[in-house]
Every structure is written in C-alpha cells, then in structure tokens.
Amino acid sequence: MPLSANRYLDIAPEVSRALRDGEPVVALESTIISHGMPHPENVEMALRVERTVRDSGAVPATIAILGGRLKAGLTTDEIRRFGERGQAIIKTSRRDIPFVVSRGEDGATTVAASMIVAAMAGIRVFATGGIGGVHRGVNETMDISADLEELARTDVAVVCAGVKSVLDIGRTLEYLETKGVPVVGYCTDDLPAFFSASSSFRVDYRADTPADIAAALQAKRDMGLSGGMVIANPIPDAHALDSGEIDAVIADAIADMEELGVTGKDTTPFLLARIAERTEGRSLDANIELVVNNARLAAEIAAALSTQQ
C-alpha cells in the first residue's frame, strides 16, 4: 500500500489486530447493502453474512466510504445506516473514489472499489454475490463492468456465485481470459450462473477444497503474478432457481429496462428489483443464501491461506 493511502484509510480495530497477528480476514462489499436489496432485508443479510464469516473462523471487514474515509470494517450501526439510506448513497467504483473521498461523502463500494480498499488494507480474500461483467448488447452499448479490469490488476481473490445472470456470461469469460484472470470452480466444472448452480460454460480450473485454492493463491503471489482470481461457488441446490424460469424472467426484465431507458449504474439494481418482483421474492431469498454461502467459503479459504503465509 502506498504510504500516502494511509491517511485516507481507517481499518477497524478488530480487523487491524487480525491482520497484524496473521489471522484470516474476509472483505465484504457495501453496494449489495445499499443498492442490491430492499430495507430491512439488506441489513439483516449484511449482519448475517458477518456472523457467518465469524462462525467460519475469520474476521469480517465490510468495505465502504463514510464521510470521505475509506473503511475496512464497519460497526453494526454503520451497516444499519447504509441499509436505511439505501440508494441515496453514492454507488462507488474506481473512478468515483477520489471524488467521494475528497468531498467527504458516503460511498457504497462495488466489487471493484471493495477490491481496491481491501488490497490497501492487506486483505486477500473478498466475498460477494456475483461479479459484474460484459452486459448483453455490448456491441451497441460497450457496457463492461469495471469489476473485470480490477480483477486484472488487483491481487484479491473474489468468491462469488459466478457472473450475474443478467449479463453476457460467455463474453465475460472471454474478457477475463484475455486479462489473464483464472476462473476457478469450487467443487464444480461448470460456471455457476448466480441464481442457478450451473451454466453452459466451463471454468478454467476446478478445486475441491479451500486448501487447494489457498495453495494456488499463495503460489501466484510468490511468483509475483499480479491480478485477482475468481472463485465461483455454486448456490446451494436447496435455494437455486430453475434456469429456464429465471432466464425468461431476466429476458422480460431486460425488455422493461430498455423500454424505460435505464442505463449505466442503474441497470443492475433495476434488474434485480424487477426479477424479485416477478419471482415473488424467491430471487431475493436466493440472493441472500448465495451471499451467505460465499462468505462461508471465503472464510475457509482465508483460514487456509493464513497457515501458508
């Protein structure tokens, strides 16, 4: 971390102690709280995810920007504040960080921004729901998530349920391959499709234990290979949605989005809300369960990684 970054970053005492003592730490994002789910489910989810990380042997560090300060670790009250304010908080990616910080504002960090702050703090494992990617219709819109470029440059492993199913999964994988980002399936050869446990696409490598993943991460760092790693963790079967049903719902939601002219940062929140409405809340339940599942695996990987350092 550049020395100058220290003056912008606050690491929570619990997180700081764990990092100092070589204990496992898992970073968590804040956009999923403010923009990914309605209140109060968002707060309940965030607190449950932090409990899951702790119960799995690691320390949670929810990433955000508060009053212009980069935060690695939030209090319960701060998480509640994010949940209550919701989309009034600035959705913050790499390009936004300097302005949110310099103007003393609050920012909900995306996958990309959360990776940046995690790396500044020295946190190597990050758990989220699904990563951003290449949007459908990219030939016309050129809409590609900054998450992919961050994965290419920032040394943080991202545990997720695959690429968000509202995106172009095939083109996203091609982009990651071009950037040299490995996509690893946890106990699966198929790439999970967020709400569904599998898709028609294959992962680059399969790993059947957290220790296998930790060993690859450590070898990657030891050799000085920059960039992140995608750990694709399928949603548990008990909470997965039928792929045919969810594909049809997504297609309808995208048609609504295009008709209303929703673009840019607003697309994913709009689509997730529309999908939750069309599935009568089942997609929201699935989203919560997959995030919890990812947090558990991330903690296990962080614990395995801590024994190799």
Q: Round to whole Å and give the CA distance between 306 and 124.
A: 10
Distances (CA, A) of 213 to 57, 120, 149, 267: 17, 22, 22, 32
Q: Which are the contacts of 21, defined by CB distance < 8 A and separation ≥ 6?
A: none
Burial class (CB in 10 A: 0-12, 13-18, 19+), 218: middle
Q: Which are the contacts of 127, defined by CB distance < 8 A and separation ≥ 6?
A: 26, 27, 28, 49, 53, 158, 159, 160, 291, 294, 295, 297, 298, 299
Q: Which are the contacts of 285, defined by CB distance < 8 A and separation ≥ 6?
A: 239
Q: Round to whole Å and give the CA distance between 274 and 113.
A: 25
Paired tokens of 76: 């319960």
Q: Note the pLDDT tens digit of each residue in 77-136.
A: 999 999 999 999 999 999 999 999 999 999 999 999 999 999 999 999 999 998 886 766
Paired tokens of 237: 């079967």
Q: Could you identify the residue written with the tokens 């920032």?
A: 154
Domain containing residue 294: 3-306
Distances (CA, A) of 15 to 122, 225, 305: 10, 26, 16
- Beta strands of the chain (E only): which ranges? 9-11, 25-28, 59-66, 69-72, 90-92, 107-109, 125-127, 157-160, 183-186, 205-207, 229-232
Paired tokens of 59: 């320390």
Active site members: 29, 164
Paired tokens of 17: 């102690």
Q: Note the pLDDT tens digit of each residue in 225-235.
A: 999 999 999 99
Q: Note the pLDDT tens digit of each residue in 210-223.
A: 999 999 999 999 99
Q: What is the pLDDT of residue 267?
A: 74
* Total count of domains within the chain: 1
Q: What is the pLDDT of residue 173?
A: 93
Q: Round to whole Å and give the CA distance between 125 and 158.
A: 6
Could you tell me which residues are beta bridge partners of residue 228?
none
- Give the least confident one: 26-30, 255-259, 283-287, 304-308: 255-259
Q: What is the CATH number of the domain that holds 196?
A: 3.40.1790.10
Paired tokens of 119: 């790396």
Q: What is the pLDDT of residue 3?
A: 43
Q: 74 pLDDT band (50/70/90 cuts)?
A: very high
Enter the pTM of the model.
Answer: 0.91
Q: Note the pLDDT tens digit of each residue in 18-44.
A: 999 999 999 999 999 998 888 999 999
